[in-house]
Amino acid sequence: MNNSQINRLKDKTFNYFGIFCTLIGLVILAFFIGSIFYDGLRRIDWDFLTSLPSRKAEKAGILTAWVGSIWIVIFTFIIVVPLGISAGIYLEEYAKKSRLSSLIEVNISNLAGVPSIIYGLLSLEIFVRLFGMGNSILAGSCTLALLVLPIVIVATREALKAVPHSIRAASYALGASKWQTVWEQVLPASFGGILTGVILAISRAVGETAPLIVIGALLYVPFTPSSPMDEFTVLPIQIFNWISRPQHEFTTNAAAAIILLLLITFIMNGVAVYFRNKWQKKINW
Amino acid sequence: MKKQIKTILFAITATLLVSCGSSSEKAKTTNELTGSIKIDGSSTVYPITEAVAEEFRTVQPKVNVTIGVSGTGGGFKKFGRGEIDISDASRPIKDKEILICNENNITYVGLSVAYDGLAVLVNPKNTWVDYFTVEELNTIWNPSAQNTIMYWDQVREGWPHEKLNLYGPGTASGTYDYFSEAICGKKVGTRADYTASEDDHILVQGIATDKTGLGFFGLAYYEENKDKLKLVGVDNGSGAITPTMGTVSNGTYEPLSRPIFIYVNSTSVKRPEVVEFVNFYLKNAATLSAEVGYIPMPISEYEVQQAKFNNFIKK
């Protein structure tokens, strides 16, 4: 075999290896989703969605859990989007390369790696007790917003970086101020990338359990929240509780609740992807 | 950009409005109480409290009972700060926690509401085990047994030279604490070379497929998997006792059964809905605890607890 044949062989081998690696993840995921659907799909009906928790597996529903999850996601979104995007814009467009800004940068990347339960403990003292928010949706959303903030900031920065410098230069050349350049040119151009970050962040937030349990999210709540100051429960907590019950029927309930949680995530992602694609079509330099 | 933001905001508001509209109309009854009762604590006690709260809703629909599961320790922490009315506990309150209650001028009463039993189990194909003595369980599970007691014939003479495979809940669970304290003594723990899982279904699966396996977990899990496992009695000096409704309830199945508790704050019992709830709890705990897989106390014991609570209110 000559050199070029060996290289071709290597190329082919790596190609198959890559396919294999991709498939492992997909096959396992497909298997899990399949078994969840097999277990839980028949359990989902209108009653399941509109009933309160119950000791009887067949009567138990997840009304308060899914409504709570949606409240939490919306408020997390409202808090994290302006904070994260603004911080990203500041760091990328305004901040000068100083020791302070590099310190902030290092800290943000570190924050992304802090275990979620630590955020829970921090929030318990700050939001729940010091700020007097109690075990409310607002406290829960603030906690999750902190947790996913680094994701949004990092994604925003990457998206801003991807905007070609010539766009900024052109804008300045026409006499636009820095703010006008960012708001009218750079931000719209990077919107797609930012939205991808937000999708990732929110998907992570919707599945979190540990920090919410720490700040005092409940399990049994017989009413749906009507304001951000109400107490709440979320789907992952209910799922965890059902799985740990000895009766097998509760496992079916858990599977059904997992399907719903997946559905919520998919719908949210779908909405975000829709906006992203719509936005990207508009950009024509 | 503006138009896009408007659309997003509109979507958010619409979702919020939809979720607000779903609270249902509640039926009216006479002598209706209102208010809310905050409960938190052990996830072991949760199923019973949930069942009671569920039934209580049919009697007093306007009282909002909320239950959290931050664990017995977490529950007592909140209880000591006066943040909750009732604390679910799978063990009595500790001195440290009593101290915190005293510091914050919180007086309380502890009421036992049911029993929780631990079951020791082997594979149904295991023909040699008839019962365990507490000493034998100690021999098997003691930390010093690690890497030494590896075969069944090391536990009792006459048992076969088969590998001893152990299964049990992980060290973070209350069930583990309780088992290690009852069998190996306080603050000793157990050996670490066993298959540990927080998910009891995995333990069931493990023992059910391992001919020489041995494990322990909550009795309720055995009740749900009777056909796959063999329940083993425990001899604490007065003959082997198998855990059943009867032997746990009358206290002969020792030392692997324990009472579980609710603790009630004295400031909270000034509110009629809390008193009503606790009375309702004690009245229905027997039926409801059995329904969710726990073991009720004898009726006389509930009367004792009710008297204790009545005295507590008078003070």
B201 and B309 co-located in one domain:
no
Chain-chain contact of B16 with A74 (C-beta, under 8 angstroms): yes
Chain A residues touching residue B67 (CB < 8 angstroms): 218-220
* Region B137-166 average pLDDT: 91
B207 and B233 co-located in one domain:
yes
Task: Count interface pairs A-B at CB distance under 8 A.
Answer: 98
Chain-chain contact of A223 with B12 (C-beta, under 8 angstroms): no
pLDDT at A285: 60
Is there a domain that residue B63 lies in? yes
Is there a domain that residue B57 lies in? yes
Which of B216, B237, B257 is where one domain is finished? B257
B156 and B207 co-located in one domain:
yes
Chain A residues touching residue B224 (CB < 8 angstroms): 246-248
Is there a domain that residue B8 lies in? no
B186 and B129 co-located in one domain:
yes
Which of B234, B257, B280 is where one domain is finished? B257
Name the domain count of chain B. 2
B141 and B67 co-located in one domain:
no
B253 and B264 co-located in one domain:
no
B93 and B173 co-located in one domain:
no
B250 and B264 co-located in one domain:
no
Chain-chain contact of B22 with A241 (C-beta, under 8 angstroms): no
Q: Read off the pLDDT band of B20 (50, 70, 90).
A: very low
B127 and B142 co-located in one domain:
yes
| Element containing residue A278 per DSSP (H, E) | helix A248-282
Give per-residue pLDDT as tens, A46-103.
889 888 888 888 888 899 999 999 999 999 999 999 999 999 999 988 888 888 888 8
Distance between CA atoms of B15 and A79, rounded to whole angstroms?
17
Asked if B11 is an interface residue toward chain A (Cβ–Cβ < 8 A), one would say yes
Among B residues 209-248, those touching chain A with beta carbons less than 8 Å apart: 218, 220-221, 223-224
Is there a domain that residue B10 lies in? no
Asked if B13 is an interface residue toward chain A (Cβ–Cβ < 8 A), one would say no
Look up the domain containing B203 and give its range: 122-257
Asked if B65 is an interface residue toward chain A (Cβ–Cβ < 8 A), one would say yes
Whether a cis peptide bond, with omega within 30° of 0, leads into A115 is no
Asked if A121 is an interface residue toward chain B (Cβ–Cβ < 8 A), one would say no
Distance between CA atoms of A16 and A7, rounded to whole angstroms?
14
Share of chain A above pLDDT 70, in %: 99
Whether residue B3 is predicted with pLDDT greater than 80 in this model: the reply is no
Give per-residue pLDDT as tens, B23-33.
333 444 457 88
Task: Write out the two tokens for B92.
Answer: 């009595």
Contacts of B152 (CB under 8 A, 6+ apart): B128, B159, B160, B161, B162, B163, B164, B212
Phi, psi of B110 (to 5 degrees): -105, 130
Residue of A nearest to B5 (CA): A275
Q: Read off the pLDDT band of B120 (50, 70, 90).
A: very high
Query: Tell me: domain A46-282, CATH 1.20.120.1200, correct?
Result: no
Tally of residues, chain A: 285
Give per-residue pLDDT as tens, A190-213.
988 898 899 889 988 998 888 998
Residue of A nearest to B7 (CA): A275
What pTM was estimated for this model as a whole? 0.80
Asked if B62 is an interface residue toward chain A (Cβ–Cβ < 8 A), one would say no
Asked if A122 is an interface residue toward chain B (Cβ–Cβ < 8 A), one would say no
Chain-chain contact of A63 with B12 (C-beta, under 8 angstroms): no
Domain boundaries defined on chain A: 3-43, 46-282
Which of B227, B257, B287 is where one domain is finished? B257
Out of A74, A225, A231, whose CB is closest to B12? A74
Residue A211 and residue A90 in contact, taking contact as beta carbons nearer than 8 Å:
no
Distance between CA atoms of A35 and B161, rounded to whole angstroms?
40
Asked if A279 is an interface residue toward chain B (Cβ–Cβ < 8 A), one would say yes
CATH number for B235: 3.40.190.10
